[in-house]
Amino acid sequence: MMKLSDKKATLSFSDGSAPIEFPVYSGTIGPDVIDIRKLYSQSGMFTYDPGFLATASCESSITFIDGDKGQLLYRGYPIDQIAKNCDFLDVAYLILNGELPNPAQKTEFDSLITHHSMVHEQLHFFLRGFRRDAHPMAVLTGLVGALSAFYHDSTDITNPRHREISAIRLIAKMPTLVAMAYKYSLGQPFIHPQNDLSYTGNFVRMMFATPCEDYKVNDVVERALDRIFILHADHEQNASTSTVRLCGSSGTNPFAAIAAGVACLWGPAHGGANEACLQMLEHLQANGGVAKVGEFMEKVKDKNSGVRLMGFGHRVYKNYDPRAKLMQETCKEVLSALGLEKDPLFKLAMELERIALEDKYFVDRKLYPNVDFYSGIVQRAIGIPPSLFTAVFALARTVGWIAQWNEMLSDPDYKIGRPRQLYMGSAVRNVPAKH
């Protein structure tokens, strides 16, 4: 629970109206917040903060980011310790429940997720309504939204048990849906989940196996994807998570709220950056490669060109994204295990990174590589097509979305999200008599 600080904030006005005092609350770590909830009733004014640059929209105990230090904590644990010591379902349990599972809890949770991974046969028909060349994020937005039509037994959002069942269903079924979207785009048969495999191993098999032969999951590929899932599991109040909270705040069902999160994640400024980053590298490679990097960087720095260095910069991190370091490590491991060390795109990425980290433009603006800079190269090496990268991100982020949604609904003070505006349209006017 946030605690009232000894400090108070006072807002004074230049027109002589009486100053207003606001309470200040402190969290466990991180900046204090000024509680402005009474501002409108006391002053008749709103705050103005498009893009939420200085607004805390909720109280949360799940994830903490210190953007200046480049620190990321899940439930207090540093991301590098988590990535090195846990698997994705440990992380899912931690994010949902607040503590790492003991061995008995882990066995029970893994089994629960494993036994909810099949999807209703009707969903196959739903999927078949899409064009084969549909973007996987369009398919996923539709499929996740459609889940709400299948689980009328668990959509009472005021019932904590229902919320728990929905969380399990979503986390368990997401890999199946993503793999189905991929298989559908190829025209290959869907591969059903197999219960003796790990969460990530099962996803790899559903993606790459065919019914024609046995399939052995490659350990390096499984470990790399598991790390991608861990690093993307939650990230505080980012755009898609805030979307899930805002959508869920109206009391809608969890499948609809998560579908809204998937739709938001799709954009290139957010989850779509991994796909956009790989497209950028491929475009550069096809147009001169490393020799043309300098020229490309000049375009990136020119505001009029509209070109951004994808995979660089972050709203919160003004230091190296700690996930990017871990992803770089995985990238090296995967390329070496798969014999792709000389991969030209990886070389190109390293060269872009080297220049950007030394260039005054990037240094002055504190622009560092983010996790997507490397995750695209890893996924491509594994055999995942760029159009599916963001769907893989959505699969992992489902854990964070559903945990944040559940946390919001468990908070007795939660209210429907309803921002206000500064109106700049016409003042009142009359419709002309005849027009």
Residue 314 designated active-site: yes
Neighbours of 107 (CB within 10 A): 11
**How many CA atoms does the CB half-sphere of 84 hold within 13 Å?**
8
207 binds ligand ACO (CB under 6 A): no
Q: Which one of 21-29, 153-161, 202-210, 303-311 is the stretch in contact with ligand ACO (CB under 6 A)? A: 303-311
What whole-number distance in Å separates Cα of residue 82 and Cα of residue 63?
Answer: 13
Q: Is 115 an interacting residue with respect to ligand ACO (CB under 6 A)?
A: no
Among 328, 330, 370, 390, binds ligand ACO (CB under 6 A): 370
Give the binding range for ligand ACO (CB under 6 A) out of 90-98, 290-298, 311-319, 341-349.
Answer: 311-319
- Of 18-26, 182-190, 337-345, 370-378, which segment contacts ligand ACO by CB under 6 A? 370-378
* Closer residue to ligand ACO (CB): 135 or 232: 232
What strand order describes the sheet that includes 63-66? Answer: 63-66, 71-74, 77-78
Active site (annotated) includes residue 32: no
- Residue of this chain nearest to ligand ACO (CB atom): 313
* Residue 326 contacts ligand ACO per CB under 6 A: no
Residue 173 makes contact with ligand ACO by CB under 6 A = no
Among 146, 334, 367, 392, binds ligand ACO (CB under 6 A): 367
277 contacts 324 by C-beta, under 8 angstroms: no
Q: How many amino acids of this chain bind ligand ACO (CB under 6 A)? A: 18
Question: From the CB of 123, what's the least distance to ligand ACO, in Å?
Answer: 28
Sign of CA dihedral 328, 396, 275, 367: negative
- C-alpha 431/C-alpha 391 separation (Å) is 48
Candidate list 135, 232, 235, 314, residue with the active-site label: 314
Instruction: Name which position in 300, 388, 402, 409 contacts ligand ACO (CB under 6 A).
Output: 300
The catalytic residue among 49, 372, 411, 435 is 372
- CA–CA gap between residue 165 and residue 161 (Å, rounded): 6
Beta strands in 1-134 (DSSP E): 3-11, 20-26, 33-34, 63-66, 71-74, 77-78
Interatomic CA distance for residues 376 and 363, integer angstroms: 24
Interaction of residue 34 with ligand ACO, rule CB under 6 A: no
The answer to whether residue 266 forms part of the interface with ligand ACO (CB under 6 A) is: no
Contacts of range 81-86, beta carbons closer than 8 Å, 24 or more positions apart: 82/230, 83/227, 83/230, 83/231, 83/326, 86/230
The yes or no reply on residue 94 touching ligand ACO (CB under 6 A) is no
- Catalytic residues, by residue number, are 314, 372
